[in-house]
Amino acid sequence: MSARIIDGKAVAARCRAELKARTEELKGEGITPGLAVILVGEDPASQVYVRNKHKACDELGIHSEQYTLPGNTSREELLSLIAELNGREEIDGILVQLPLPGHLDQKEILSAIDPAKDVDAFHPQNVGRIVIGDYFFAPCTPSGILTLIDSTGVDMTGKECVIIGRSNIVGKPMALLALHRNATVTVCHSKTRNLPEVTRRADILISAVGKAGFVTGEMVKPGAVVIDVGMNRNAAGKLCGDVDFESVSPAPVPGGVGPMTITMLLRSTVLSARNRRKKA
Ligand code: GUN
């Protein structure tokens, strides 16, 4: 089956070059965008994500602070750090890397972040704003996916957009963003019946399942835009997405959605700095 391969790395590099210019402009006005990233515990995948975020900030000239807290950090300690970061003028974005250790209440922690610094858009107030289409921040992975789709020149209006996965981080916000782009949206999940029948309708198919080789060629309409959000390890320990690359050829992982997620985080941080500090 022939499908177009989206070069996520190239799209991300173009966006980052634009952001670097905007960052330099802000710096010329005495404003250095600042991001604080909090990692609780030692999840190896999270450690890699956080390191990549920090490195990307460095490359753009964004100030970044990393807080690595032990896995047994108490609710009070974490809330107190968030309160301190909420109060610091030079911090424009606060990100708490998920997943959190089980003893911490994710909803409570995310709700403690100042909505004006919530670059992940996970605070309930920002989630609600996305639902009604009046939002400033949007979650990074779905925003990155929209940018990748835009890079293909495909107009989403009236298109069948099928999303596999209903997480709060990817599937649900992706559905809302696609709806705001006037796509006809279907969200599939583990209880969906006749999944291949549904996915074959898709002009745009987005897979965020977390299972290597889950999406195969017979689930995909010829010519569809396929976006693979999965980050899995196969039996040989190699990093791979949800989509069976041999039979489908979507945006390859790594190099597809991952770099876009980080790029959107940088964009939100720069936008936040402009919004918060150029008001006066
Ligand atoms: N863990 C996996 N994806 C994300 C993300 O986009 N943001 C945060 N904070 N944690 C994550």
| Separation of alpha carbons 206 and 228, rounded Å | 6
What average pLDDT score do residues 130-148 get? Answer: 97
Position 255 scores a pLDDT of 56
Instruction: State the catalytic residue, choosing from 92, 118, 120, 244.
Output: 120
Helix (H, G, I), strand (E, B) or coil at 38: strand
Mean pLDDT of the 110-127 span: 98
User: What is the pLDDT confidence band of residue 233, given thresholds at 50, 70 and 90?
Assistant: confident
What pLDDT is attached to residue 5?
65
Q: Which pTM value belongs to this model?
A: 0.93
Active site residue 242: no
Compute, in angstroms, the gap from residue 120 CA to the centroid of ligand 1: 8
Q: Tell which wins on pLDDT, 69 or 253.
A: 69
Give yes or no: 97 in active site: yes
Tell me how far the alpha carbon of residue 1 lies from the centroid of ligand 1, in angstroms. 32
Q: pLDDT at position 254, please? A: 46
Distance from Cα 140 to the centre of ligand 1, integer Å: 8
Task: Note if 53 is an active site residue.
Answer: yes
The pLDDT mean for the chain works out to 93
What backbone phi and psi angles, to 5 degrees, belong to 55? -65, -40
Pairwise CA distance, residues 206 & 185, whole Å: 11
Ligand 1 neighbours (beta carbon < 6 A)? 95-98, 120, 140-141, 169, 261
pLDDT of residue 4: 60
Q: Which of 141, 101, 138 is nearest to 231 (CA)?
A: 141
- What is the amino acid identity at position 11? V
What's residue 3's pLDDT? 55
The pLDDT tens digits for 203-224 are 999 999 999 889 999 999 988 8
Measured CA to CA in angstroms, residue 130 lies from 135, 145, 176 at distances of: 5, 16, 7
State whether residue 155 is helix, strand or coil.
coil
Atom 4 of ligand 1, residue of closest alpha carbon: 98
Q: Look at 105 and 226; give whichever has higher pLDDT.
A: 105
* Residue written as token pair 């709806």: 179
Q: Residue range 247-275: average pLDDT? A: 84
Element (H, E) at 275: helix 257-277
- Is the pLDDT assigned to residue 252 strictly greater than 60? no
* Predicted local confidence at residue 191, as pLDDT: 96
Strand partners, 94: 36
Q: Which residues contact 76 (CB under 8 A, 6 or more apart)?
A: none
State the average pLDDT over residues 65-74: 98
pLDDT per residue as tens digits for the range 6-62: 778 899 999 999 999 999 999 999 999 999 999 999 999 899 999 999 999 999 999
Distance CA 57, CA 98 (A): 19
Rounded CA separation 185/161 (Å): 5
Query: How many Å apart are CA 101 and CA 105, to the nearest integer?
Result: 9
Q: What angle do CA 99, 228, 44 make, to 5 degrees?
A: 30
Task: With CA atoms as reference, report the closest residue to 226 among 234, 215, 218.
Answer: 215
pLDDT in tens, 144-199: 999 999 988 899 999 999 999 999 999 999 999 999 999 999 999 999 999 999 99
Closest residue to atom 8 of ligand 1, CA basis: 97
98 Cα nearest atom in ligand 1: 10
Asked if the model's pLDDT at residue 253 lies above 90, the reply is: no
